[in-house]
Amino acid sequence: MILSTTFDVHGRTVGEHLGLVRGNVVRSRFIGRDIVANLRMIVGGEIHEYTKLLAESREQALDRMIEHARSLGADAIIGLRMETTDTGQGQATEVLAYGTAVKLS
């Protein structure tokens, strides 16, 4: 599956637009990670536990979006975007990947 943040694929022609595809995941924080993360916030520096959690969430959202596009028979996803949203009071975070599924000529 070809993924592009632009609205074309270099050297290829978009033959058919299949529509919006998306994949999302909502993850809550884990108390064990929170304790370590809060200690890191006091001293400063990167919070590795949250970096890893968000990286895993992004990959899962991308995988779900690709699965959605494949179910439509797509060759590529163009206009790929990602968003992250706090679902309120810092208890969970949603990661959303979305774009336009296309067939290439």
Helices (H), 44-95: 48-71
CA distance 97 to 66: 9
Whether residue 20 has pLDDT greater than 80: yes
The CATH number of 2-104, from 3.90.25.10, 3.20.20.70, 3.30.110.70, 3.10.180.10, is: 3.30.110.70
* Residue 83 pLDDT: 96
Single-letter amino acid code for the residue at 105: S
- pTM beyond 0.75: the answer is yes
Kindly state the percentage of the chain with pLDDT values over 90: 64
Instruction: Please report which confidence band the pLDDT of residue 86 belongs to, taking 50, 70 and 90 as the band edges.
Output: confident
pLDDT tens per residue, range 22-72:
999 998 765 555 565 565 566 667 777 778 888 999 999 999 999 999 999
